[in-house]
Amino acid sequence: MATKKNNNKNGKKKKKKPSAQQSQEAKAAKAIDAELAEIAGVKASNKPKPGKTAPKGRPTPSRKAQAAAKKRKQLSPAVLIGSGVALLVGLVVLITTFTGPDDTGVVDVGAWDLPVLDGDDPNGDGRVTLDEFAGKPLVVNFFASWCTNCESELPRFADAAERYADDVNIVYVNSSETGNWERMAERTGVRDSLLIRDIKRRGSGFARELGGTGAMPLTAYYDASSNLVDVDFGEVSSSALDARLLQLGVPVG
């Protein structure tokens, strides 16, 4: 008896193709599964990690921010001490800039005693006092390198000091200084004159005792008996300076 030929290799039965309805149902089920998986993924990404729960209403810090915070906590005491020392050194430098290395002296307008900044020291002791100028009228002009009005008026005082050297003393006080006074002194012609440094109250103690507010320039006038006669606040013109010198008895011509 002849056997029926088997057209299916290896004796496997041929699978039936799903019907159109079954295919649609499978696609729908697959789409639903994908949507559920996506929703679950979003919820998982928004969930704070263990130990990193952010305060309510604020986002969880990023890993970079968390690492930086951890690093700050791990700073050694030596690093913190070093930072404190650096800050202290900076403050010392700032204070020195305003007051200089020697802040001792007297700022009494009737008996002042201040350190020499530059120029001929009357007694060679590094200090200048009011009584050293007794016998002639005295003009004390205050300046600072940042003062534009000082830049304008200093040449007038330098010229008057040269013309009336036998009849009046003119000295210059560097006050409220924060920059390079030497360059200004060179530019304005007072570099070779007697220059004094103000002290106390960030380098403006004497100027403030005379009624100044820290603004420059300021000029004080003393008679031959070392009595304070008057004070000018602000820039002094050539004519105003001549009038002040005449007031002090200087033969202006």
What residue spans define the domains of the chain? 113-247
| Residues 6 or more apart in contact with residue 136 via CB below 8 angstroms | 167, 168, 169, 224
Looking at every residue in the chain, the average pLDDT score rounds to 78
pLDDT tens sequence across 115-131: 999 987 777 889 999 99
Q: In the 8-state DSSP scheme, what is residue 52?
A: -
For the ranges 49-58, 151-160, 166-175, which has the lowest average pLDDT?
A: 49-58
Helix (H) or strand (E) holding 60: none
What six digits make up the tokens of 209?
A: 């005792």
* Rounded Cα–Cα distance for residues 37 and 42 (Å): 9
In this predicted structure, what is the pLDDT of residue 98?
40
pLDDT score of 125: 86
Higher pLDDT, 26 or 15: 26
Q: Which fold has domain 113-247?
A: Glutaredoxin (3.40.30)
Count of CB atoms situated within 10 Å of the CB of 190: 24
The pLDDT, as a whole number, for residue 148 is: 96
Q: How many CA atoms lie within 13 A of 228 on its CB side?
A: 15
Q: Which residue has the higher pLDDT, 223 or 121?
A: 223
Cα dist from 245 to 89, 133, 212, 219, whole Å: 46, 16, 21, 12
Tell me the pLDDT band of 113, cut-offs 50, 70 and 90: very high
Q: Residue 5: pLDDT band by 50, 70, 90 thresholds?
A: very low
Average pLDDT over residues 179-203: 94
Of 71-85, 143-157, 158-172, minimum mean pLDDT range: 71-85
Between the alpha carbon of residue 13 and those of residues 5, 60, 64, 72, 237, the distances in Å are 14, 58, 60, 71, 120
SS3 121: coil
Residue 155, pLDDT > 80, answer yes
pLDDT at 19: 62
The residue-averaged pLDDT of 212-218 equals 94
State what percent of residues in the chain have pLDDT above 90: 54
**Cβ partners under 8 Å of residue 109, min gap 6:** 206, 209, 210, 220, 228
